[in-house]
Amino acid sequence: MLSGERLGEIEEQVSQVSMTAAESAKILVNGLKDAGIGLIATLPDINLSDLLREVEEAKGVIHVPLCREEEGMGICAGGYLVGKKCAAIMQNGGFFNSTNAIVSTLLQYQIPVLLLIYYAGDIGDRTFASTGSMTEPVLQALGIRYYIMRDIGDAPELIKRAQILAEDARKPIALLLTKELLGRRAALKSL
Amino acid sequence: MKRYDCLKTLASQVNDALVVSSAGAMTLEWNSLHPNDGNLRVRTLGLCSSIALGMALGLPHRRVVALDGDGSLLMNLCSLPTIARMRPTNLVHIVFDNEVYEASGSKQTATGAGTDLVGIARAAGITNSQWAKTVDEFAKLAAAALGGNELCFIGVKVSTERTAVPPFPIDEVENKYRFMRHIEKSEKIEIFKTNLPASYI
């Protein structure tokens, strides 16, 4: 257990980068809107807080808060079939929860969806090491192309390109959202 | 009560509604009664109501009907609170409850041991949730749901009896393209854009 004092220090550190977290969130949501995304299904993670707040407030985007990520794959598939470009935002544990729907609906029917997956257990995280270690292998096993996002400056262009690829390949594409991208940790230039 | 008899009354009422049907024999029965490019057959057990929700949110002026089963809904119960939260007024969620996993060897589901799906739907927040006890009652509830402007959940207890009908004639990808072309045509929208060759981008 963390002591109250240590928790206070962590809160302080997070609040110091919270300006950038809010800015990152704005940039990401604007990127999604510019890519034409009209429906976003989400399930929270603490590191996605600012991003989800921005999604809630976004105009012209249907926001669907989920109870479990797998249902989000169905909601995105339904949205796509009637003409919406769709994205889902979740933690990598939620991506694991979604695999049956990804395989037997998104891949089987060839449905493009942007999967924005928070990369818990990434290098430097204190928790979810197992989840982190299995994230890329599972994406590879499913044949889902993915890109690790670390620099918020690249985000709008990457999101746009990922959506083009998803539509052209008629497949889901994953963007792994790291803590540095989300403005919740200092970036390392060499990563 | 036979599922086929309920589907027959529904086929006479749906008009241009989009119909999403769960994996299993019900899909075959529905498509033989109402062959239409606005039908989508679901292959992931449980996902029927979620796909229908996505359609209902994406096209709020178009009626969407989910034809679900008890085994399917039990696998994705969390779709009920999500549907209740989004409250699409154009969605009609129908569950044919035969109390078994019919397509998987007819083992009993939890509804056979007393679980009440209409009760769950109502408790999840779908206030207009009702059981239809006869085919006539089902026809009336379906007519009210299709003609109204309110999120509805209808449960129907049916026998395990199947009706001999032809197999579903198309695969998933053809089903998708036919469905989407049907949406383009009936909604007068363009979903598939003609892209420039890669060298132009």
B125–chain A Cβ distance below 8 A for any pair: no
Query: Would you state the pLDDT for residue B196?
Result: 67
Give tens-digit pLDDT for B84-140.
999 999 999 999 999 999 888 889 999 999 999 999 999 999 999 999 999 999 999
Q: Percent of chain B having pLDDT more than 90?
A: 89
- Look at B51 and A78 and tell me if their CB atoms are within 8 Å: yes
Question: What is the Cα–Cα distance from A151 to A176, expressed in whole angstroms?
Answer: 12
For A126, residues 6+ apart whose C-beta sits below 8 A from its C-beta are none
B81–chain A Cβ distance below 8 A for any pair: yes
Q: B152-157 and B107-108: which strand pairing?
A: unpaired
Residue type present at position B127: T
Global ipTM: 0.96
Query: Would you state the pLDDT for residue B75?
Result: 97
Query: Would you state the pLDDT for residue B105?
Result: 86
Place of tokens 């993670």: A45
What is the radius of gyration, based on Cα positions, of chain B? Answer: 17
Nearest Cα neighbor of A81 from B164, B182, B23 is: B182
B181–chain A Cβ distance below 8 A for any pair: no
Give tens-digit pLDDT for B53-96.
999 999 999 999 999 999 999 999 999 999 999 999 999 999 99
Give the residues of chain A that fall short of pLDDT 50: none
Interface test with A, best of B44, B78, B79 (most A CBs within 10 A): B44
Question: What is the Cα–Cα distance from B130 to A14, expressed in whole angstroms?
Answer: 49
Query: Would you state the pLDDT for residue A189?
Result: 73
Residue B191 predicted with pLDDT over 60: yes
Spell B77-103 as b/e; 16+ CB within 10 A means b.
bbbbbbbbebebebbbbbbbbbbbbbb
Residue A75 has its nearest CB partner, among B18, B40, B50, at B50
Smallest CA–CA separation between A76 and chain B, in Å? 6
Smallest CA–CA separation between B1 and chain A, in Å? 30
Residue spans of alpha helices (H) in chain A: 4-34, 49-57, 69-81, 92-97, 99-101, 129-141, 155-169
Question: What is the Cα–Cα distance from B135 to B5, expressed in whole angstroms?
Answer: 7
Place of tokens 């407030």: A57
Query: Would you state the pLDDT for residue A91?
Result: 98
Query: Would you state the pLDDT for residue A172?
Result: 98
Put simply, whether the predicted model's pTM sits higher than 0.90 gets the answer yes
Chain A residues whose C-beta is within 8 A of a chain B C-beta are 38-39, 62, 64-68, 70-84, 86, 100-101, 104-105, 108-111, 164, 168
